[in-house]
Amino acid sequence: MTQNPDVPRGRSPVPAGGTHAARGGSRFRGKAWLLLCLPVGLTTWAAFLYIGIRARRRRWLAWAAVYAAMLTGWLVLDAPANPGNTAQGVAAVLALITWIGGGVHALVISNDAVRRIHGSEDPRLEAAETRIERRAAGRHLLTSKPALAREVGVGRPDVPGADDYGLVDINHCPANALTRLPGINEELAARIVSERAQAGGFSSVEDLGVLLDLPPSTVDGLRDTAVFLRD
């Protein structure tokens, strides 16, 4: 029997479309929870509870509670003890919202749910996402409640017990804390401390880059973690 030269030895030829079929199967398995939305809306709440727990998403857990409440209202109003037309009408509306609305809602967020669930299974991605969210929260606190931000120590990793939120305040941190920033070595940190004393502080990464003649790559690397608190 002649060996096909296009197929490496020791390997079986892969049927055309096999890769796409495997990916399609993986996507289907990742969205199997959507089947919970099919039984006339009776388990829509369970679908959102599942993805909320797996993705650690409070918003979806809240929606699980909403759909569970609507299901309860539907079943109560549709019971024989409530034979009135009004009760039956409200029950029908709740049934449609729970079934059709919940199903459409779940379908719309399904791609995001799959991404978050699989992303949360990688501890490195989860840790990186947490750091990004923490820095964003710290910046928001600096903007909305600057006095509180200073009190908790946002941007001050050099202060014992402070919650720096992963940020570094270039205008107040000592040189050894500035070296936490990407692209900032001991020599450059010393220059920053010296220059800010003469300039009275910096206003932005662009201002810092101009005064210290920093390369654009260094300036861009500081955007995520550097903050500039003024006295």
Q: Indicate if the pLDDT at residue 203 is higher than 60.
A: yes
At 54 the pLDDT is 87
> pLDDT over 70 for what percent of the chain?
84
At 23 the pLDDT is 44
Q: How long a stretch of residues is the chain?
A: 231
In which residue are the tokens 């990688």 written?
122
* 110-143 per-position pLDDT tens digit: 888 888 887 655 677 778 888 999 999 999 999 9
Q: Is residue 165 very low, low, confident or very high in pLDDT (cuts 50, 70, 90)?
A: very high
* 39-80 per-position pLDDT tens digit: 888 899 999 999 999 888 899 999 999 999 999 988 888 777
Q: Is residue 211 very low, low, confident or very high in pLDDT (cuts 50, 70, 90)?
A: very high
* 9-44 per-position pLDDT tens digit: 444 444 444 434 434 444 455 688 888 888 888 899
Extract the tokens encoding 98. Answer: 């729970």
At 26 the pLDDT is 47
* C-alpha–C-alpha distance, residues 227 and 198, integer Å: 19
CB 193 within 8 A of CB 187: no
* E strands present in the chain: 168-169, 226-227
pTM of the full predicted structure? 0.51
* C-alpha–C-alpha distance, residues 212 and 40, integer Å: 65
At 121 the pLDDT is 55
CB 175 within 8 A of CB 191: no
At 120 the pLDDT is 55
* C-alpha–C-alpha distance, residues 1 and 53, integer Å: 55
CB 64 within 8 A of CB 45: yes
Query: Hey, what amino acid is at 218?
Result: T
Extract the tokens encoding 104. Answer: 């459409």
CA 127 to chain centre: 10
